[in-house]
Structures are given as structure tokens and as C-alpha cells.
Structure 1
Amino acid sequence: MEALGSYKISPVCDYSRKSKCRFLSPCTLYSRKNANGTRIGLLKQSISSNITVASAQPVGSSKVGHPENMLPSKEILELWRIVDAVCFDVDSTVCLDEGIDELAEFCGAGKAVAEWTARAMGGSVPFEDALASRLSLFSPSLSQVQNFIEQRPPRLSPGIKELVEKLKAKHIDVYLISGGFRQMINPVASILGIPKENIFANQLLFGSSGEFVGFDRNEPTSKSGGKAAAVEQIRKGHKYKKLAMIGDGATDLEARRPGAADLFICYAGVQLRESVAAKADWLVFDFADLINLLG
């Protein structure tokens, strides 16, 4: 993506969750027009177990170029305004974190699992292989998962609650479709007022003593192409005329196909995956853009 260049910057501290100061890796410079003119921001590109999220903050004004799909076409904007349903990815979209990375870090295997997540989200490894490999690195027990949920409540992305509220006010149905786990997504759905039947995600399985035994491979989201299959199932079951998918990864982009999503919006407010962003119908860094242009 030629219009988005990478720049070295001075270290920026992140105090969002960790007690120690962490530093951001090389970031991407981007511009976004709003009511006050053009805004320039910096976004982290890579995943690290030592880094949570740095929000994109304005650093001045400039006439830096940006991808064409950051400004929606008339057709895309009209489509956004008439959707019947919106399906959201969860990790690095609805929430600031990659859930499996956070759980792995909690269980002491953060770095190794984060490396696998980066490969999976970039689309270089079949999702089911990456999921099984990551889980095998730390095999979380039921008690570990329960403790994690209690000690690490969800961190929602800025503006997502307001966007979901506006969608529901316009009688647009909202779904969560994730390669993450229901045990960790249920609290997110509860905060956003999304019914559990509108969640499509994976399920961790435990034995009689609470030991980890695997995950439910019958869930559509447990394999490559699963999100697209879930969207097709949703669309067919409810006979939606127009449906949008919002996410940051290759598995979200897969849902943009006939019979599934009519519109794919790449949300890069947490992670910018350039190969995904370049193919999106619309690239956004701030959920406020979607709220303001919903009409």
C-alpha cells in the first residue's frame, strides 16, 4: 500500500494495563479527514505480547496522501446506510486486545502465541492449524480461564458501544463473529447488549477435572473460511437483504463474497494489516466515521 508509509518514531509509553512502561514498535503514518480538517496519526503495525494498544492520536496537519478506500464511494456509503445486519469481528476490532494472546500471556506463554496470531491474522497459515498450535502451547485449564475473565475484564475499542447503540436504534441487527472463545466473548456481548444467540465463536472444551481437552471443531469459526460460513448462515436464516462485515484480519475479509457479506469495512484503529486494508471496500481508523455517516 504505497500511500501508507512506515516511519521510525520516538518510543511512546503505554500505561493501559501493564505496570511497566512499554514501547511501541515502528508505526504507520496515516491521514484522515474530519470536520476539523485533515488529521495525522500513528498506528502500531505488529503484534507483541509486551504491547497492548496505542490509540491513534493527532500529531498535526498535513496533506499526506491516503488510500482511496479511506473515503467511501457514493455506492459504498449508500450500502452502509441500508444494511439490515452488521457482523463484527471481536479481537482487535470490538476489543482492543487479541483474546487468545492475552489468555496465553496470563498463562505464561504470551510471546510464542502472539507470533502465531500474527501469522494467522495475516492469512499465511490455515486458521484451524494456527488455533490448535496456539492452544497446545499453554493448554489453559478451566480455572485459568475463569480467573482470567475475572481479573482481565474486556477492553472495548473507543466508539464501539456508541456504534452498536446507533445500529440497534436503527433496527439493524448486530452479530459477533470471532475465532476467539465464547467463554471470553460472552462478557463482551453482555456489555454491548448483544444476545448470546448472535455470537458465533469457538468453544474451549474441558474434562471432568477442569483440564483442557481441546476446542469444538464443529463450530464454523474453528476453521479457515469459517467466518464467511457463519455470515452465510446468518444471512440465509434471517433473509437479510444487505449485510456488512467489520474486522481487521484476513478471516474477516473472507466473508466478503456472494451469499455472505455485501460490504467489508476494515477497522484499523487497533491493528493495520495492509494486505487486508488494501482489499477492503472501506478503510476506517475511527468508529466515529461509521456513526456519523450512518445517517
Structure 2
Amino acid sequence: MHTVTLLCNPAARCLESALVESLRNAWGGGEARWLSPDVAAEFSIEAVPDNQWTVWEDLQEISVDLVIQPCEARQKKMLLADMDSTMIQQECIDELAEVAGVGERVKDITARAMNGELDFEGALTERVALLKGLPESMITEVLNTRISLMPGGKQLVATMKANGAYAALVSGGFTAFTAKVAAELGFDENRANTLLTTGKSLSGDVARPILGREAKVNALEEITAQLGISEADVIAVGDGANDLGMLKRAGAGVALHAKPSVAAQCDIRINHGDLTALLYIQGYAQDDFKG
């Protein structure tokens, strides 16, 4: 058996019951269960339909996301999350670059790296080099004035932790940012790269080894082993090419507002919902949310 989840942006509330019933009837599904009025609903089916992705494309036109998963073990025991453009709405290095006056140059490299066009490590060192001489105090200013949380993040972490799950934030960004974001959202741990300084300014380099795609896979392996759970017990979320390793290994790998080349390689694609979508696809209803 499989579960079909239909959802939209909670700020738009555009999921109509007629649409849910129409698709349920077309696919011979069980009774629909509404997880949140006008936002998310689910029903069971016996097998994945051949026209899944055709229907998915049609629903994208009306701002509705469609996810089909096995019914068994949907509720996960661990959250493994990327930070930039996932748990927060920005790319930290791009925001630092803006205040350093090299914003456009860095944004272009970031976009190409997240799309998989550039080697992550090389792209990171090239961008960090452009930040050389930036006062270290600007990190705090960027955190306080330019960084905002992705909607639904607090509910996602709080709800999963209230149900016994472990939450890890693993980023190819920087510890100066992940430490604050992890603390604010309630993550159990965070891993990222460390910006090096000379005096009170950025040196233009990062500590080695650089945490990229493989580091996220390593985190998945190490933390699941420590917890005594399987990779199938993990829901991972990210948006860039360096997230693909963990997204493909986790029991549920969610491409959230991801680059097209990344989303195309994932079976769970959330383009319209916010981070609460990760709760809905696990079967949580809005009434179950914490945070």
C-alpha cells in the first residue's frame, strides 16, 4: 500500500476537496483524510499509478504538490536538514558577500555550484577568498539583519522531537550561522565549515577538511549508527546538488524548493508547501504540530 499526499502553501490554502476526491476516485483510493483544511490531505492506494508524474506536472500548474510513498514507516526517527535556502530563506555566503561588496560575483558562483555545474569545494574556496578582509563583526550583523527562518521550520523540528526524533543540521555553510540557527530552531546538533580569521577579520579561507556532499552522507551514516536506527528511519531535506547524496540515501529525501536539476533526481519534491510539508507527508495533522 502507498499513501498519496496532496498539499499546498499554508499561506495560500488552495487545496480544494473536489480535486482531492477527483484524484482519489481516479486512482481507486481509500477515504480521504484531511490533515489541514484547504492545505493538506491524504489517501491510500494499492500501487503507484503509471501517470504519477503527468498528474504531478498538472498539479504544479495550480500550485499543489503531490507525494506518493509506501505507507509503512512514514513517520521518521531523525531529521537531517540542510540550512541555506532550506531551514533559512537565504544563502549565508551570498549575504556576507553583499556587505563585502562582491555580491554579484559570489551569487553567480553559488547558483552554479548548487545547480551542480561547479565542484562544491572549489566553488566554496573561491567565494570565501572574495570575503578576505571583511570584519568578523559583520557575521553578527548579517545574522541579525539579513537572515530569516524558512516558514514551518520551528513546527517541523519541535513536532518531530516531541515524537522522539533526533534533529541534525548539516550545512556546507559556516558554523557561525549554523550554531545560531540550530539553537533557535531546537536542533540537537549542527555541522558546518569554519571561517578562518586573522585578527578580527576574515582571512579568506576555511578550515579543512571542507564539509560538502560527502560530509552530509557521513553525517547520515554516523548519526544513525550512534542512534541505533537505519537510514530508512531518516527524513532528509535540502535544495542543492551537494544535498543529493543524503537525499538519495535517506528513507525520505525531500527536495524543497530545489534547483530543477536536483529536484529531477528526487521522488519527493516540495515546490509550493513550506517546511510543514515534511510533517504532512509523515502523516502528522496540523493539530499534532508543536512549536
Distance, in Å, in 1 between the alignment partners of 2:157 and 2:266 is 21
Report the CA distance shift for 1:66/1:34 in structure 2 as closer, same or farther (over 3 A). closer
Task: Answer yes or no: is 1:34 the counterpart of 2:25.
Answer: no
| Deviation (angstroms), 1:37 | 5.9
Distance, in Å, in 2 between the alignment partners of 1:37 and 1:159 is 26
Give the partner amino acid of 1:98: E
Q: Deviations over 1:152-204 (max 9, x none)?
A: 3x301111111111111111111111111010122211211224xx1011111
Distance, in Å, in 2 between the alignment partners of 1:251 and 1:38 is 35
| Deviation (angstroms), 1:289 | 2.7
Distance, in Å, in 2 between the alignment partners of 1:204 and 1:37 is 52
Give the partner amino acid of 2:66: L
> Which residue is equivalent to 1:125?
118
Distance, in Å, in 2 between the alignment partners of 1:107 and 1:256 is 33
My pick for the range that moved more, 206-215 or 232-241, is: 206-215
Gapped regions of structure 2 (runs ≥ 5): 1-11, 21-38, 40-55, 285-291
Distance, in Å, in 1 between the alignment partners of 2:100 and 2:108 is 16
More helix by share: 2
Verify the 8 A CA contact 1:141 1:206 in the aligned structure 2.
Answer: no
> Which residue is equivalent to 1:112?
105
**Cα RMSD for the two superposed structures:** 2.8
Q: Deviations over 1:252-292 (max 9, x none)?
A: 111145xx522211111xxx411111221211131333223
Task: Answer yes or no: is 1:292 the counterpart of 2:280.
Answer: yes
> Which residue is equivalent to 2:135?
141
Report the CA distance shift for 1:201/1:80 in structure 2 as closer, same or farther (over 3 A). farther
Report the CA distance shift for 1:211/1:74 in structure 2 as closer, same or farther (over 3 A). closer
> Which residue is equivalent to 1:20?
none
Counterpart mapping for 1:92-241 below 5 A:
92-139=85-132, 140-152=134-146, 154-195=147-188, 198-212=189-203, 214-219=205-210, 221=211, 223-241=212-230
| Deviation (angstroms), 1:32 | 10
TM-score by length of 2: 0.70
Distance, in Å, in 2 between the alignment partners of 1:73 and 1:248 is 19
Give the partner amino acid of 1:97: Q
Distance, in Å, in 2 between the alignment partners of 1:70 and 1:246 is 16
Give the partner amino acid of 1:237: Q
Q: Secondary structure at the match of 2:89?
A: coil
Give the aligned length.
Answer: 230
My pick for the range that moved more, 243-252 or 205-214, is: 205-214
| Deviation (angstroms), 1:84 | 1.3
> Which residue is equivalent to 2:236?
245
Distance, in Å, in 2 between the alignment partners of 1:280 and 1:120 is 18
| Deviation (angstroms), 1:213 | 5.0
Identity %: 30
Verify the 8 A CA contact 2:96 2:131 in the aligned structure 1.
Answer: no
TM-score by length of 1: 0.70
Q: Secondary structure at the match of 2:265?
A: coil
Verify the 8 A CA contact 1:164 1:174 in the aligned structure 2.
Answer: yes
Report the CA distance shift for 1:245/1:103 in structure 2 as closer, same or farther (over 3 A). same
